[in-house]
Amino acid sequence: MTDYYEVLGVPRDATTEQIKKAYRKLAREHHPDVAGADPKAEERFKDVSRAYEVLGNPDKRRQYDLGSDPSSPGGGMGGGFGFQDIFETFFGAATGASAQRGPIPRARRGQDALVRLDLDLADVTFGTHREIQVDTAVVCPTCTGTCCAPGTSPRTCEVCHGLGMVQRVARSFLGQVMTNQPCAACHGFGTTIPEPCTECAGEGRVRSRRTLAVDVPAGVDTGTRIRLTGQGEVGPAGGPAGDVYLEVRERRHEVFTRDGDDLRATLSVPMTAAALGTVLTLETLDGPQEIDLRPGTQPEQVVTLRGLGVGHLHVGGRGDLHVHVDVEVPTDLDDEQAELLRRLAALRGEERPDARLAAHHQGVFGKLRDKLAGR
């Protein structure tokens, strides 16, 4: 039996990537277009291709390591005879591989890809357009997905004659039975690739970096997935592409906290402004907005600005912006300021106010803090 490891010049414990690299190097050296009409080079190229066809396929390599040459006629067709084979023969109820009739398609659907998409609060509030780069598999530009070297084509399997299946006769306690099994020589494809494309090593696809454009709708949140149909990796032999899923992760904002589609923020105002009332200008995601504080505004009072929150996903409209007022009590009074406050307390009869206890009502942030703490 030919030593395919020696043909490719790799050790028996070589990785798939090492085998692929060795094949590409040797295939370029001995390709007829490079080596000319040298018959030895042509034969060497076929040997290298045959070695890679076996060692580059995990199932065929496993058979080869066990002492069977899957590339030779009848190679790799040994094995036990199970109850399912008998059941299929007498009752016609096979499942799985035994139920396969005819060659299986070489082209298969590519895998899906999951890509994380980091967004700012403004992006999820109004929606945004992004261009992202993904490393994926695309159709090989050299063989256009045929898996064959230019000027060549797949060859009908000499073992199964293109059926992708072979018949096996075995003896059992019921006598001789005949079953259909996937052809080990062509792996059930019905064809072999005598001269694989050197660009893609017979895969029909190559790795490439692509730029994808995506319109992110308003209202997405951390964990939301956006599906880009048919933008994933191309399948083997140029098969249909899978999908790309963009998983959103929203970055924390330094001012605003998201509560569903509402936004919350804290506004610190001096005690005098809360007592007398004032009009302030706030910088929101929509630009400067005026907020009217009524005289006598209390700590933790909430002022709501309608329609300045996050956009509602799919249904239109927006949430609200809730501003929680934090009244600042001065701690660095000079003598004149302290005297003025004492005069105010006297005028209001509050020099010695009555102490009154009442039930404690948490603000929204206090409730959230206790919930996170498990209280």
Interhelix angle 39-55/58-65, rounded to 10 degrees, is 100
Torsion of CA 121, 124, 130, 136, to 10 degrees: 100
For 295, residues 6+ apart whose C-beta sits below 8 A from its C-beta are 275, 276, 277
Beta-strand pair 244-250/113-119: parallel
The DSSP call for residue 361 is -
Q: What is the amino acid identity at position 213?
A: A
Burial 285-309 (b: 16+ CB within 10 A, else e): beeeeebebeeebeeebebebeebb
Using CA atoms, how far apart are residues 5 and 365, in angstroms rounded to an integer? Answer: 67
Cβ neighbours, 10 Å, residue 117: 20
Residue pair 267/327 in contact (Cβ under 8 Å)? The answer is no
- Tell me whether residue 147 is annotated as binding: no
- Tell me whether residue 148 is annotated as binding: no
Q: Alpha-carbon Rg of the chain, whole angstroms?
A: 37
For 275, residues 6+ apart whose C-beta sits below 8 A from its C-beta are 295, 296, 297
Binding-site residues: 140, 143, 157, 160, 183, 186, 197, 200
Binding-site residues for Zn(2+): 140, 143, 157, 160, 183, 186, 197, 200
